[in-house]
Copies of this chain bind each other. A is one copy, B any other.
Amino acid sequence: MAELKGFFLPRSPEGKASIVPEPPWHYSGDVLTIEYRTDPANVAALLPAGVEPAEEDPGAVAIVWADWQSCSDTFEELVDPVRSQYKECFVVVRCRHDGETYSRCVYIWVDKDFALARGWFQGYPKKLGSIWITRPVAVGRAGPRLEAGGVIGATLQANDRRLAEATVALTGPSETAGFVNALPMLHSRWMPAIEKGAADSLSELVTMGSRDVDVGPAYTGTPQLRLFPSPAEELAALEPLEMIAGYWRQVGATFDGGTRLA
C-alpha cells in the first residue's frame, strides 16, 4: 500500500492537497510595528507556566501589521497569488525561559488558511480576521511617501467587530525597527486531548527564527493605537499606558524549522 503524502493535512496520494507544503517557506512583505508599554502584569498574565517576564522593560508590547507574499521552495504559489498573499496582525511580548530572553506571539489574526496552518505548526496562535494596512506609494496622491509627514494606518477586525486601529506618522529614517519582536521566538504548540478532561495531547515549547533575512530601509514615526473589546477576544486588556515608537520596513526571510525546547 502506498503511503499518504503531504506535509500537514489533509494527507493524500500525491501530497498536493496539504493545506501548506513543506518548509522552507519564503516571505517578502511590508511590516508596520508599533511598540508600547502596558502594565507588566498584563504581559505576565499571558505567559505559560515555566516562562517568566523579561527582566528589562517587562511591560513592552509590539503590535505588528504585515502584508506578505510567501511561497514554498517550488515558488509555484507566486504566480497564483491567491495562494501566496496574506495579511496579518499580531501581538508580541518578551519573556524568559531557561536563562534566555525570547520574543513570544500571544495573539495573531491572518486572512488565509495556509497562513493559519503554518502558524499553528509554528506555535503562532492564529485566528482569522480582516487586516488592512496603508501602502506607501511612489506615484500619485493616493498614499503616503516614505518620508517625514507620511501617515500609515492599519486596522483589524474579527467576528464583525473592529479590534484595533492604529496610525504611524512617519518622522524619518531609523536605524532599527523595534526591539520587542527582535529575539528568537518562544512558542507553545498545544493540541487538547480528544478525550474529555485528559491532559493535552501535544504540549511543546519550541523556538525558531528566520534565515536569509533581507531588510529594506527602516522608517520610524509617532504611533497612535486604539484597542476595542469583543466577547471573543482579550486583546483590549493589553491597554497601552505609554507609546514607544512606530516603525515601517520591508522584510524578506525564510523559515525552515525550529527547535523543541520542552
A binding-site residues for B, Cβ under 8 Å: 1-4, 7-14, 16-17, 19, 23, 26-29, 44-49, 68-71, 75-76, 78-85, 106-108, 112-113, 116, 120-123, 125, 127-128, 130, 132-135, 137-144, 151-155, 157, 159-162, 165, 167, 188-196, 201-202, 204, 206, 208, 212, 214-216, 231-235, 237, 250-254, 256-260
Contacts and interface: CB of A to CB of B under 8 A. Distances in A.
B234 A11 contact: no
A141 B28 contact: yes
Contact of A190 (B9, B81, B132, B133): B9
Contacts of A194: 121-123, 189, 204, 206, 208, 257-260
B151 A132 contact: no
Contacts of A260: 193-195, 201
Copies in the complex: 4
A72 B158 CA distance: 19
Nearest to A45: B13
A215 B139 CA distance: 6
A233 B17 contact: yes
Contact of A189 (B128, B201, B254): B201
Contacts of A13: 45-46, 234, 237
A108 B10 CA distance: 8
A195 B259 contact: yes
Contact of A134 (B79, B107, B201, B232): B79
A194 to B, nearest CB: 4
B12 A234 contact: yes
A152 B112 CA distance: 20
Contacts of A214: 139-140
A122 to B, nearest CB: 7
B153 A192 contact: no
B142 A69 contact: yes
A120 B259 contact: no
B191 A252 contact: no
Nearest to A68: B142
A254 to B, nearest CB: 7
Residue among A17, A45, A188, A193 facing the most chain B CB atoms (10 A cut-off): A17
